[in-house]
Structure 1
């Protein structure tokens, strides 16, 4: 099985990718709207087809990427039936099974944080995805969206902490950078729900948290009750409009050699190799400007910030770094030549030679 844990730093949300290597089927748990391009890039690089998105609950701190991914991948949108959201292809109940290739997740209802909280358990019970029902050494709040401390206490103790001790637990959030826990750890060390804590202790604690509402709650909850579909019913622009590009999971946009040849007239081509390489056997692209990577940040004023920039090097490694640096410096239209001059030469495309 293919497994990846992804992170959104703005909302401290974990998104989980599960894939079956045999069939190529994949699931995404708790996708974030703004991170959809990242998730699509990873799916493409791993050769996976997204079958469904699964939200653990109606989130109050970020907008789900479920609708956006469905538009791009044709994936089903799965969410608790109890949530009452529109746009759900597969309303989930306790005991349901979600297949992906030869693997599957079992659905356990774990309400209490919200009335529609679900926990997803892998078929061999080696891992479970607990949403906000059980966090690492904590749990979700119980003071809005039909939350109930009594219900959450029962959910955690009956549906999560009854899993095998070595079952790994993956939450929807962690604000300290901790990535995973286990049933055994939470039974023993969770200060709210572990050890000898009873429902009275827990209820008294949760009813006196006095937390402010999440900053994005007024936006996120209505949007998530539409599964993340915008009011405009229009997809945001995901691909730059100045050339056909591919976003890599590294976060770098790439342009194919033939595409660059076709669009070269309107682009700034910046070769970031050292001067001797610019005139070696590989040559350089016609019209390319030599700005070695070591000098790039000191020569930004030589480049037009309004015109797209394509970075080039021998193999695409240094130019990928240049692309990142240019983007951080405020250049809005930047791409890396896929495969660099090695691939350009292999494809028999025109090169220039001569002095710098």
Structure 2
């Protein structure tokens, strides 16, 4: 987690510069869809405007940019695989029109409100000091639940045609070789490990993976920090198991915009517990060789995410990051924290140094 400040009203104002629809028109549409109250969701996404609505504010109404519609089949599949940890979503049409200045119409969705508070809100309320028994127990609880969450996808493998797998492998190899050319030599060992492991990674189960498993999107119990739900499945995709596991590092470390990552006091316990729980949930057939491959997949996912500019559908084609701009410098700091700094790099990279 970074130490940035959040201004929800500024986020909302920025969002409405991207659309032809006004905030008041969205609020009116929300009250038409669900009778009752209306309240702004305290954390807003860059590509959507979201409110609670209805009696006891029991519904969520989300207005998304037309270029970033929610894939409803993916949402249905997520609910089948992850059960109550994924929301049920209904499409309620479109408001507004695209214009010649690049502003977009909005697509409207209604979903039931999931219980809990965001992990970010939990940390702000209860996460300090970081070494108290309550803070350590909360992190341990959540890391176990996160492992169980990821294991659900392993238990529900998806069918992918061989041609699709081969195309995906070619894309991964192309991107990794681009990183070899663009990133500094200190990252090359990690990139080469992924290249060597690609055939084994592609043999892992193909799963539906959540691609933004972060503090905003995890809903937890405000008393225990048990995981109650995961929201924002807009970028979910089919890929080999493990590519999104790097997100759990955020549950064991915090991130400072100037100094990079630092580990929580009970990091070693959290790390061991995650892998022990994942193995127990998947079952006894998961051997050490597969664990090694899953960790290579995790490394691949991290490099593809942090080594490139944004992969959002409405953004420019992603290119390797550099430290020539503010965003690139931040990405380099993330890469350094988890790939090259001895005190914070992924523990399974130790044998590479």
- Tell me the TM-score normalised to structure 1 length: 0.24
State TM-score, norm by structure 2.
0.25
More helix by share: 2
Question: Normalized per residue, which structure has more strand?
Answer: 1
